């Protein structure tokens, strides 16, 4: 974790953090497909080759250290 001397990590005593999200392919098993789901495919097939997990992370700006993360099903969407 960053200390007060870490460039870009602090602003007036406040630690600077960012929220980021992405998706990851997970192994192609029936259990993963049932829990995480598969995105649609553009080539006429019903679904893509691999199930995907949606991940959101809280990252320290100065060090790029991930200090909190949550993974869940592809269809999870929080917000309006």
pLDDT in tens, 31-72: 999 999 888 777 766 777 899 999 999 998 888 889 899 999
Mode of pairing for the β-strands spanning 10-11 and 14-15: antiparallel
Beta strands (DSSP E) in 1-80 are: 10-11, 14-15, 17-25, 52-60, 66-73
User: What digits encode the pLDDT tens for the residues 6-23?
Assistant: 777 888 888 899 999 999
Dihedral pair phi/psi, residue 64, rounded to 5°: 65, 20
């Amino acid at each position: 974790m960053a200390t007060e001397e870490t460039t870009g990590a602090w602003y007036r005593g406040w630690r600077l953090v960012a929220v980021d999200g992405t998706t990851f392919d997970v192994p192609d098993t029936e259990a993963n497909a049932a829990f995480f789901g598969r995105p649609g495919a553009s080539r006429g097939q019903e679904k893509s080759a691999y199930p995907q997990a949606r991940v959101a992370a809280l990252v320290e700006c100065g060090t790029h250290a991930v200090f909190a993360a949550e993974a869940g099903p592809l269809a999870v969407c929080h917000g309006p």
